[in-house]
């Protein structure tokens, strides 16, 4: 498949749980959300362009995009001209080849610039890696509930925990005010997404395990809550299935 032949977004019933009902409840959390997909990697381990790899007949990029269709603006962080995806504004990485933390910096920079000219611009970003094909609109609604009006005022990120109680930063919500911290981490040579989580919480357990719901700057959604809504949320594709 050529990069300029990426299919349009699948119908809502093609992506698990992304029906119209999901789109209605996403806004119920009372928090405006932008969306960004980071797809700037070189797919070295995958052996082919990961974003174009089809799962059940739908490219990974389209599957992730389908879960985020309720949000606006929608940003695709990828090399210029690599993909064409209707309804998504493409932005090249500010730091090409530096990984998803750099992709987050790019997305937050675009969102901050958007906010400088639009009073109603969202302050939260739903940020996803392109290799998580099972994300759903219900998953993002779950996280958005933790960033809504009832959230602790210090919360600047909302992340789910996996079954081993590890934060999953590649499918999380990030506040636009995190941009200076992300830029500072990258400037100091940091490339790990979890480095941002470590800076936001002082309640880390052994071996990087997070304690659900704790930490001044980061809200964690327990695995049992995530599992009930999206049990395969964190199944990623680093290599093509056998």
User: 94: which residues sit within 8 A by CB, 6+ positions away?
Assistant: 102, 105, 106, 109
Decide which of 32 and 68 is more confident.
68
Q: Tell me: the pLDDT tens digits for 158-192? A: 999 999 999 999 999 999 999 999 999 999 999 99
Q: Could you tell me the CATH number of the domain that includes residue 109?
A: 3.90.550.10
Domain residues for 184?
Answer: 3-191+215-229
Give the global pTM: 0.82
Q: Tell me: the pLDDT tens digits for 43-96? A: 556 567 888 889 899 999 999 999 999 999 999 999 988 898 999 999 999 999
Please give the Cα distance from 54 to 165 (Å, whole number).
30
The 3 state secondary structure assigned to 159-177 is EEECCCCCECCCEEEEEHH
Decide which of 223 and 2 is more confident.
223
Instruction: Write down the pLDDT at residue 160.
Output: 97
Positive or negative, the Cα torsion across 123, 124, 130, 134? Answer: negative
Does residue 161 fall inside a structural domain? yes
Does residue 201 fall inside a structural domain? no
Q: Does 211 have pLDDT greater than 50?
A: no
Does residue 196 fall inside a structural domain? no
Instruction: Write down the pLDDT at residue 2.
Output: 35
How does residue 240 score in pLDDT terms, banded at 50, 70 and 90? low
Asked whether the bond before 175 is cis by omega within 30 degrees of 0, the reply is no
Instruction: Write down the pLDDT at residue 241.
Output: 62
The pair of three-digit structure tokens given for residue 8, joined into one six-digit string = 């349009």
Does residue 150 fall inside a structural domain? yes
Q: Does 14 have pLDDT greater than 70?
A: no
Number of domains in the chain: 1
Q: Tell me: the pLDDT tens digits for 88-146? A: 999 999 999 899 999 999 999 999 998 766 767 789 999 999 999 999 999 999 999 99
């Amino acid at each position: 498949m050529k990069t300029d032949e990426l299919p349009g977004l699948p119908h809502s019933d093609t992506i698990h749980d992304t029906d119209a009902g999901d789109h209605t409840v996403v806004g119920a959390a009372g928090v405006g959300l932008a969306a960004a997909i980071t797809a700037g990697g070189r797919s070295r381990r995958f052996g082919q362009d990961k974003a174009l790899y089809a799962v059940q007949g739908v490219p990974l990029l389209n599957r992730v995009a389908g879960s985020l269709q309720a949000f606006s603006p929608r940003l695709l962080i990828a090399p210029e001209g690599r993909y064409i995806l209707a309804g998504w504004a493409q932005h090249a990485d500010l730091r090409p080849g530096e990984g998803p933390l750099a992709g987050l910096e790019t997305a937050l920079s675009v969102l901050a610039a958007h906010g400088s000219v639009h009073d109603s611009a969202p302050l939260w970003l739903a940020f996803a890696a392109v290799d998580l094909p099972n994300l759903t609109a219900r998953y993002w609604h779950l996280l958005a509930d933790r960033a809504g009006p009832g959230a602790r005022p210090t919360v600047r990120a909302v992340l789910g925990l996996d079954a081993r109680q590890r934060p999953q930063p590649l499918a999380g919500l990030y506040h636009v005010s995190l941009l200076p911290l992300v830029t500072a981490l990258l400037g100091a040579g940091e490339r790990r997404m979890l480095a941002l989580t470590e800076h936001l919480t002082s309640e880390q357990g052994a071996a990087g395990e997070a304690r659900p719901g704790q930490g001044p700057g980061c809200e964690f959604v327990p695995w049992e809550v995530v599992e009930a809504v999206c049990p395969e949320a964190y199944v990623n594709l680093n290599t093509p299935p056998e």
